[in-house]
Amino acid sequence: MTQASLGQSVVQKEIQSQNNGVAANVTHTQPLWLLAEVTYRCPLHCAFCYNPTDYDKHTQNELTTEQWIQALRDARRLGALQLGISGGEPLLRDDIEDIVIEAKKLGYYSNLITSGVGLTEKRIQAFKDGGLDHIQLSMHDITEEINNFITNTKTFELKKKVAAMIKNHGYPMVLNVVIHRYNIGHMRQILEMAEALGADYIELANTQYYGWSLVNRSQLMPTKEQIDEAERITNEFREKQGSKMKVFFVVPDYFSDRPKKCMNGWGEVFMIVTANGDVLPCHSARVLPNIEFPNVKDKGLDWVWNDSPAFNKYRGDSWMKEPCRSCAEKEKDLAGCRCQAFMLTGDAEGADPVCSLSPNHHVITQAIEDSRNPVIASQPIIFRNDKNSKAIIAGELHDRVKDFHALP
């Protein structure tokens, strides 16, 4: 018996649909995953944050509690099941308790994605009572120095306390560690720390270069050798440890020959509602040209998902150009990430330059070279904070973004 005889993981989703009794190969898209980026405000200032660098424009026009609840209801009717409550730091809003209660009522499997800042005994108890299913905590390193440096805050001790709190309340502990040059050498210690904290899952997420992390790419990118070693240590840990902690190692796309199947396809399973109500098929879609993204204040999510030009723009493969269009592997990666293609090459319909078959692949090899260039790599990190966001909006940090075809 195979996995297929039991069921189907939705990340490999292609549904056989019945059409008047005749089997038809139709891809039925449903927004199974709803990510609610409830605020862009954040007490941390992480150098690798994927949020838009101009987020400061969106901190004053956040959706109300009622608008969030309406969005949750509409998405659930469309089939959404997994709910991520993220940000910024979602706990900066005082209505997360209300959102959690509504999510439970609607039958979502809900997940709070947090830095832990602002999580108190009182709030976690309210989340538990309200029916929140799990909490994903970001951790940064085993050392106080690196944690505090990369987040630009003194949050090391707090994170350990929050991890214990999550465990004490009977939650599965899901840790997310973004991997970059400054912590990649500590992989074994990070895994041991996670195990000591009683983590059930740990995601070792190699930095993907969007938003602030793109601006800081040369400062954050590890070498290929470091990544190989990190993966080797991770595999070794998986094999010998025998504990029940599940370890996910997210491979960094800059170092692979083929691009990732970004978001499992445009408008296939993911829908993101951002702080101000814009609805996106992926985290950074706002960088793309000639697309107007719908907003929940104007249109219902049913229209957004099924009928909006934005969500239909890169569905299927008729928009693809060569070399993707005739590529035997096109179904595997759907030409990669539209945002990365546009940001790095100026062509939103082109192949993701990560692909070695892309005529623009040199921008990736150049980026890797730059990150090894001591002069470039020693430029200061631009931390994610309001002051820097305002400066980027005002064009003051032009030198650091001039190579990209849109503001990261």
Task: Give the integer Cα–Cα distance in Å for 48 and 150.
Answer: 8
CB-based contact 404:214 (threshold 8 Å): yes
Nearest to 210 by CA among 73, 341, 51, 9: 51
Q: In angstroms, what CA-CA distances link 201 with 119, 138, 182? A: 20, 12, 22
Task: Give the integer Cα–Cα distance in Å for 147 and 153.
Answer: 8
CB-based contact 389:54 (threshold 8 Å): yes
Task: Give the integer Cα–Cα distance in Å for 7 and 270.
Answer: 20
Nearer to another protein among residue 79 and residue 118 (C-beta): 79
| Minimum distance of another protein from residue 132's CB (angstroms) | 12
Nearer to another protein among residue 78 and residue 288 (C-beta): 78
| Minimum distance of another protein from residue 134's CB (angstroms) | 5
Looking at residue 329, its amino acid is E
| Minimum distance of another protein from residue 139's CB (angstroms) | 15
Nearer to another protein among residue 17 and residue 356 (C-beta): 17
| Minimum distance of another protein from residue 376's CB (angstroms) | 35
Nearer to another protein among residue 33 and residue 210 (C-beta): 33
CB half-sphere exposure, 142, CA atoms < 13 A: 14
CB half-sphere exposure, 80, CA atoms < 13 A: 29
| Minimum distance of another protein from residue 171's CB (angstroms) | 8
Nearer to another protein among residue 136 and residue 388 (C-beta): 136
Q: In angstroms, what CA-CA distances link 126 with 76, 212, 342, 374? A: 23, 33, 43, 49
Nearer to another protein among residue 184 and residue 245 (C-beta): 245
Nearest to 303 by CA among 315, 293, 289: 293
| Minimum distance of another protein from residue 165's CB (angstroms) | 17
Nearer to another protein among residue 248 and residue 372 (C-beta): 248
| Minimum distance of another protein from residue 133's CB (angstroms) | 7
Give the footprint of another protein on this chain (CB under 8 A): 1, 3, 5-11, 13, 30, 32, 77-79, 81-82, 107, 109, 111, 133-134, 136, 171-172, 174, 200-201, 203, 244, 248
